Amino acid sequence: MKQPDSPTSSENEKIRSARGSWLTRYSQLIAKFVPDALSTAVFMLILIVIIALSVGNTLTATVDAWYQGLWMLLPFTMQMTLILVLGSVMAATPLFKKIITSISRRPQTTTQVIALSVLFVSIVSYLNWGLALTLGPLAAIHFSNQAEIKKIPVDFPFLLAANVAAISVWQFGLSASGPLMMTTPGHFLETVTGVMPLRSTIWSPAAIFLVIVFPVALTITARLLMPNKPKPISMFPESQKLIQEVSSQKESNEEISFSVRVEHNYLIPLVLCVALLGWLYYHFRVKGMSLDINSLNTFFLLLCLLLHKNVHNFSRAVEGAVVACWPILILYHFYAGIAGLIQFTSVGPILADIFTPISTNWTFPFFTAVAGTLVAIFVPSSGGQWAIQGFVTTTLAKAIGLTPQRGMLALGVGDQMGNLISPFWYVIMAKVVRMDFKVFYGYGLIFALLWFLLGVIAFTFIPC
């Protein structure tokens, strides 16, 4: 009776080996042909300039659009930099180190490793995307390290890609750029849409559905596609060193000087915390403002100071966090120049008009997500993208009888799709784990497709 089992087991092994080999070949192929983020920005610039000139814009108008755009995201660049820096600083606090270390020790199987890692990153991402950008890669390191210790087969680059995909829920979380912008009275589309309360955007049934269902679907997909011959974290010694560095960090008890003692005193950050609390009180109670990017950054700065307890620890964490921010500090301005070419020439309206004749109640979310994807590749900024496409998206939604909220949320699906297929954010997270982003970038494209399909389904058929 056991005779037939051997061939079946052998066939299953061949299937798993074939699956692992095609995934490996696919990832290696992507790594060979995907250029770095700065080179990609140059290619994008050339492409948009060619399009702008070919559709009738003069060379002078095109140069003027580039001139207007290059530095227009300076305030937003600083806001995004702070979100990333403060997220990294918070991730470096003893509290979060203990949390991530404790959770990573719990899984006993490959499925549990994937499920707990993805769930942890999804929850953190819902709270703050900057925190998730740091903790997501670090979670992959800790979970992979514990898996290797327990001899649980887990492919580190593949788990890293799954964690990167799990960050996608931030689009409809508490730090979502577009929805936070639209809750603020006086926003640039108030005459068209009015103020959008969060219950009609990130807390709508469709958004909540996607936030819950996507991590579950991501876990199942990652488990089914996990390479059969996994690459453990020991094959990436620079990444593994991060665990040793975290565990070896200890405070010095030496009494050196007055200035050093001041840096280690808890009263200095406490004074700053009181001042920040005063700012938050004035923002929410006195001025009656809603949650926005500045208030979010203020709140997380307050938490970082409290959790680090002294200026010395806080400053050291900031120094480490800034290293991973260079893509935002530099590349955002090149993307802003490209955004200027789209916004201040006829390229933007032409791109939007492509989908107008074929948009219906059923096709609108899909084509809006597609348009969002195309623009997000060039402009990796949700707030910047909404500024460029918001008017056309909301006007088209109202024209065919849909709510502006549905248009904004569908655009968010495309925005994140663009983030998942553009190298920009992969470069930032690769800096966190000290590896080449092209090693795991190819896997991320698979999860990007899953996000897009579920997002389009949610904002086509579920109320919002």
Tens-digit pLDDT profile for residues 430-440: 888 888 888 88
Range ranked top by mean pLDDT from 96-100, 144-148, 393-397: 144-148
User: What is the Cα–Cα distance from 379 to 424, expressed in whole angstroms?
Assistant: 10
4 pLDDT more than 60: no
What's the rounded mean pLDDT across residues 64-70? 91
pTM over 0.95: no
Can you give the pLDDT at residue 27? 59
Domain residue spans of the chain: 34-246+259-461
What's the rounded mean pLDDT across residues 262-282? 88
DSSP state of 282: I
12 pLDDT more than 60: no
190 pLDDT more than 90: no
266 pLDDT more than 50: yes
Query: Measuring CA to CA, how many Å separate 373 from each of 79, 205, 415?
Result: 23, 23, 5
**How much is the mean pLDDT over the chain?**
84
Can you give the pLDDT at residue 16? 44
Query: In this structure, what token pair is assigned to residue 239?
Result: 């990444």
Residue carrying the six token digits 């068209």: 192
264 pLDDT more than 50: yes
CA atoms within 13 A on the CB side of 428: 31
- Closest of 246, 214, 5, 201 to residue 104, by C-alpha: 246
Can you give the pLDDT at residue 357? 73
122 pLDDT more than 90: yes
Three-point CA angle 440, 445, 448, nearest 5°: 125
Residue 368 or 382, more confident: 368
Residue 23 or 111, more confident: 111
Residues 6+ apart with CB under 8 A from 280: 295, 298, 299, 302
Tens-digit pLDDT profile for residues 209-257: 999 999 999 999 999 999 988 999 999 998 888 887 655 445 444 456 6
Neighbours of 39 (CB within 10 A): 11
3 pLDDT more than 60: no
- What proportion of the chain, given as a percentage, has pLDDT over 90? 40
Q: What are phi and psi of 208, to 5 degrees?
A: -65, -40
Range ranked top by mean pLDDT from 23-27, 147-151, 239-243, 316-320: 147-151
Q: Output the DSSP codes for 198-256.
A: GGGTTTSHHHHHHHHHHHHHHHHHHHHH--SS---GGG-HHHHHHHHHHHH--------
User: What is the Cα–Cα distance from 240 to 398, expressed in whole angstroms?
Assistant: 52
Can you give the pLDDT at residue 6? 40
User: What is the Cα–Cα distance from 284 to 405, expressed in whole angstroms?
Assistant: 24
18 pLDDT more than 70: no
Stated as kind and residue range, the H or E segment containing 29 is helix 5-33
Identify the band that residue 272 occupies on the pLDDT scale cut at 50, 70 and 90.
Answer: very high
Q: Let me know: does 459 contact 409? Beta carbons within 8 Å.
A: yes
Tens-digit pLDDT profile for residues 294-320: 888 899 999 999 999 888 888 888 887
User: What is the Cα–Cα distance from 347 to 402, expressed in whole angstroms?
Assistant: 25
113 pLDDT more than 90: yes
Neighbours of 78 (CB within 10 A): 14
What's the rounded mean pLDDT across residues 69-77? 81
Three-point CA angle 304, 308, 312, nearest 5°: 115
Identify the band that residue 8 occupies on the pLDDT scale cut at 50, 70 and 90.
Answer: very low
Can you give the pLDDT at residue 447? 95
Can you give the pLDDT at residue 182? 85
Plot region of 72 (φ>0 → left; ψ -120 to 50 → alpha; else → beta) = alpha
User: What is the Cα–Cα distance from 329 to 327, expressed in whole angstroms?
Assistant: 6
Three-point CA angle 118, 123, 127, nearest 5°: 140
Can you give the pLDDT at residue 26? 58
159 pLDDT more than 50: yes
Residue 185 or 410, more confident: 410
Identify the band that residue 129 occupies on the pLDDT scale cut at 50, 70 and 90.
Answer: confident
Which stretches within 264-381 are classed as H helix? 267-281, 293-308, 311-322, 326, 332-343, 347-353, 364-378
Can you give the pLDDT at residue 375? 76
165 pLDDT more than 80: yes
Can you give the pLDDT at residue 15? 39
Identify the band that residue 17 occupies on the pLDDT scale cut at 50, 70 and 90.
Answer: very low
Query: In this structure, what token pair is assigned to residue 250?
Result: 């200890």
